[in-house]
Amino acid sequence: MGFFAKLAHGAGAVALSSALLANAPAAAQSVEEFYRSKPLTIIVGVTAGGGYDLIARLLSRHITRHIPGKPSAIVQNMPGSGSVVAAGHLYSVAPKDGSVIATLARIAMIEPLFTNQRFDSTKFYAIGSVSKDISTCISWKTSKVKNWDDLLTKEFVASGQGTGADPDAFANMIKHLFGAPIKLVTGYPGTNEQALSMERGETEGYCGVSYSTLKTRYTKWLSEGSINIIVQNAIEKHPDLPNVPLITDLAKDAEQKQIIRLIVATQSMARPFVAPPGIPPERGAALREAFERTMIDPEFLAEADKLKVEISPMSGPDVNAMLSELYATPKNAVQKAAKAMAP
């Protein structure tokens, strides 16, 4: 090759190299470089003011200190069908670059087992869950329904949020499996609106409200005896509620117990934080590590204590493992659980 040919060849190589660098994908950035230039958006699958929102905002104030690049955090509420709308958005629409995560209603995470949905929760990249939880059914002080026996024999007007939401799933489960005369009035955007409807006398109460939400948001109800806690929808009792029956203990037989366990098992991952499928592995790992560090951060724990938020975290891999186990449930049990939760 002659001198000028070599020169031209070299210039072409330099130009090609420059073009490749200019068009290098964002994934080529280090984790620190990426998060230094982009905020972390945390989507909350329900309305503002409830337990999910409280914990998302609490986490947003601390987790970014532990993410390389220390990004700012944005909390964005995206309510609809008990987090199903947000789950679909995270799965199909949200950027898959690690800049967006979400906290979703736990029962929405298994909704694709029962109905046609445009997401598969086993493919989410779980970051972790701040705590375990116990879901309850409650009634207002003026309701004739004061306990489990009353719920089975007296009409109970309960509020719901929509298919896939805890309040609807648990109310329908109790209605269909135990024959309780529950009248479900659904379509409320979130827990705050359900609380107001109960206080105003539009409804008598609702199922699927976390005990942690009662302790953090509605302490006055507990201290003044304004509500009756009828049943715990979980696989183990909360220490504060030794005399409130556990739904799995009320099952009539082994098959019914299996169905109930499938529906309530997600309480163990309380309020999961997940990223979309396909995020760069190094960013996913950084988010998981930041979450783990936040869970033992003294400032985070001090604020959580002030807000009366219980911290008993579940790791991201454990959340993913639980989802995989639930999605492996035999089809006949899934079909019976779906029938139990249907309107």
Same domain, 153 and 257: yes
Same domain, 293 and 253: no
Backbone φ, ψ for residue 230 (5° rounding): -90, -45
CA angle (169 as vertex; 167, 153 as ends), nearest 5: 80
Q: What is the pLDDT of residue 212?
A: 87
Last residue of a domain, one of 206, 231, 266: 266
In angstroms, rounded to a whole number, what is the distance separating the alpha carbons of residues 59 and 292? 11
Last residue of a domain, one of 266, 299, 330: 266
Q: What is the pLDDT of residue 15?
A: 42
In angstroms, rounded to a whole number, what is the distance separating the alpha carbons of residues 49 and 66? 26
Q: What is the pLDDT of residues 281-329, one digit of tens each?
A: 999 999 999 999 999 999 999 999 999 898 999 999 999 999 999 999 9
In angstroms, rounded to a whole number, what is the distance separating the alpha carbons of residues 342 and 211? 24
Last residue of a domain, one of 266, 284, 302: 266
Cross-strand partners of 182: 156
Task: Classify residue 4: in a domain, yes or no.
Answer: no
Residue type (1 letter), 80:
G
In angstroms, rounded to a whole number, what is the distance separating the alpha carbons of residues 110 and 105? 10
In angstroms, rounded to a whole number, what is the distance separating the alpha carbons of residues 303 and 296? 12
What pTM was computed for the model?
0.77
Task: Classify residue 197: in a domain, yes or no.
Answer: yes
Same domain, 142 and 113: no
Q: What is the pLDDT of residue 17?
A: 40
Q: How far is CA 312 from CA 103, 304, 325, in A?
A: 16, 11, 21
In angstroms, rounded to a whole number, what is the distance separating the alpha carbons of residues 326 and 57? 28
Task: Classify residue 144: in a domain, yes or no.
Answer: yes
Q: What is the pLDDT of residue 20?
A: 39
Same domain, 224 and 311: no
CA-based max dimension of the chain:
98
CB atoms within 10 A of CB 129: 28
CB atoms within 10 A of CB 270: 25
Same domain, 219 and 306: no
Task: Classify residue 68: in a domain, yes or no.
Answer: yes
- The mean pLDDT values, 10 residues at a time, for the chain of 343 residues are 41 41 56 98 94 95 98 96 94 98 93 92 97 93 98 98 87 97 94 94 95 91 97 93 96 92 88 97 98 98 94 95 93 93 90
Look at the block and give the residue holding tokens 């699958």.
45
Same domain, 254 and 148: yes
Same domain, 224 and 178: yes
Question: The domain containing residue 228 runs over which residues?
Answer: 135-266
Task: Classify residue 10: in a domain, yes or no.
Answer: no
Q: What is the pLDDT of residue 82?
A: 85
Q: What is the pLDDT of residue 135?
A: 93
Look at the block and give the residue holding tokens 């999961």.
272
Same domain, 142 and 254: yes
Task: Classify residue 90: in a domain, yes or no.
Answer: yes
Task: Classify residue 188: in a domain, yes or no.
Answer: yes
In angstroms, rounded to a whole number, what is the distance separating the alpha carbons of residues 209 and 161? 11
CATH number at residue 216: 3.40.190.10
Cross-strand partners of 44: 77, 103
Same domain, 188 and 231: yes
The size of the chain, in residues, is 343
Backbone φ, ψ for residue 86 (5° rounding): -65, -40
Taking the alpha carbons of 15, 20, 22, 23 in that order, is the dihedral positive or negative?
Answer: positive
Same domain, 216 and 107: no
Task: Classify residue 209: in a domain, yes or no.
Answer: yes
What total number of domains does the chain contain?
2
Same domain, 144 and 260: yes
Tell me the H-state helices in the chain: 3-22, 31-37, 51-60, 84-92, 148-153, 166-178, 191-199, 211-217, 219-224, 254-264, 281-295, 298-306, 316-327, 331-341
Same domain, 304 and 252: no
